[in-house]
Amino acid sequence: MVKIILIFFISFTLVDAANSCIECHRKKGISLRKTFMQALLVYGGEKNFKTALFYYCKNPTKSSSVMDEEFIKKYLPLKPIKVSDELLKKLINWYWDNYKIEGNLK
């Protein structure tokens, strides 16, 4: 029973955190898909993408951003994301799974 409650809590926390990311991007008019594709062009593969995004979320800087100059001027400096490393990794996995091309084409 404790495992079920823990799984429910973790799932709820992940969904809540993902919705926070989505809402912030919407309010700023920043496409999650465009951001994903830009990062994928820069980092190439899943492992590099996830590692770079993790460190960017923890310490966002102009030099570590993959976005264009206009974006950087408008939105930086961002504040580091205040979630646990474990939750951030789960959010990044969710982001990857939902925006990757492979397996998502219809």
pTM of the model: 0.71
Within 29-84, where are the H helices?
32-43, 46-58, 69-75
Q: Parse the chain into domains and list their residue ranges.
A: 2-99
In 3-state terms, what secondary structure has residue 93? helix
* pLDDT for the residue 78: 72
CB atoms within 10 A of CB 55: 12
Task: Tell me 45's DSSP state.
Answer: S
Q: Is 4 in contact with 10 (CB distance < 8 Å)?
A: no
How confident is the prediction along the chain (106 residues), in pLDDT tens digits per residue? 554 544 444 444 555 556 667 777 778 787 888 888 888 888 888 999 999 989 988 888 878 887 777 777 777 667 788 888 988 898 899 889 888 877 554 5
